[in-house]
Amino acid sequence: MSAGASMVKSLELQLDNKHDGVKPALQGRSRQRQSELINAGIKLLCKKNISEISIIELTGTCGYTVGTFYSRFDDKESFFFAVQEAAVAKMVFLIRDGFSDQKWKTATAEEIFANLVNITVDVLESELRGVVKESILASCSNKKIWIPIRECGRQMAKIISKLLTPLYLEDKPEESQKSVQFGLQMFYGTLVQAAINNPGPVKLEDPEFRENLTRMLTQYVKLKS
């Protein structure tokens, strides 16, 4: 089984059991319909907010009836949590897979940060951007919506911190650790702003965006030279 197939199988189990309002999909056809609706939701969120997406529009995109939607989800809120869970699972997979090669254990801080920047910016330039943006905006009124995104960030930070640990200052390892943590905090903040309104002056799609983020992280953190 490929890594991608393994991720999909794990994702189905999460959607079956993790959220209230998401009904168990035990048969292959049921899982397929559930996945198609979720994928359609991810794509529609690139164009509009979840409140603007009607169930008729969603099911029509897949060629299904409204009844098919309600056979899988109680309402749009439970559907959005399933969409969000799918997107976060994919983001975590991409991060883990992106740093799975043994070469990252001996990479420089700049190489590690450049790879991190490329993975995360690629995500925000993909169809997952709509889910990230909706999660950020909706979390203002419903705090639990931010929990999966926050956990994704924590897992990302855990991977990066582990790779950078050999580069911590020998006489001041705590100082190195705190600088990495705050550097990632600034990094996340910049990505959140880019996801919401991409204000500039350097925009998400500009090559300088990746270059500047990598340079900011590399120059800020306190590591061995």
d(CA 204, CA 186): 15
Per-residue pLDDT at 14? 44
Which residues have CB under 8 Å from 4's CB, separation 6+? 93
For the chain, helix, strand, coil in percent to 5 are: 75, 0, 25
**Within this chain, do residues 59 and 162 fall inside the same structural domain, yes or no?**
no
Partners of residue 223 on adjacent β-strands = 168
d(CA 113, CA 216): 9
Total domains in the fold of the chain? 2
**Within this chain, do residues 75 and 106 fall inside the same structural domain, yes or no?**
no
Q: Exposed, middle or buried: residue 101 (CB in 10 Å: 0-12, 13-18, 19+)?
A: exposed
Per-residue pLDDT at 171? 95
**Within this chain, do residues 106 and 211 fall inside the same structural domain, yes or no?**
yes
**Within this chain, do residues 120 and 211 fall inside the same structural domain, yes or no?**
yes
Helix (H) or strand (E) holding 91: helix 76-98
- How far lies 60's CA from each of 15, 37, 158, in Å? 22, 10, 41
End-to-end CA distance of the chain: 42
Boundary (domain end) residue, out of 80, 111, 131: 80
- Confidence (pTM): 0.84
Q: In this structure, is residue 88 part of a structural domain?
A: no
Q: In this structure, is residue 24 part of a structural domain?
A: yes
Per-residue pLDDT at 4? 37
d(CA 79, CA 168): 43
Single out the residue of 105, 99, 134 nearest to residue 118, CA to CA: 99
Range of the domain at 76: 3-80
Per-residue pLDDT at 164? 97
Q: Which residues of the chain have pLDDT under 70?
A: 1-20, 24-28
Per-residue pLDDT at 8? 36
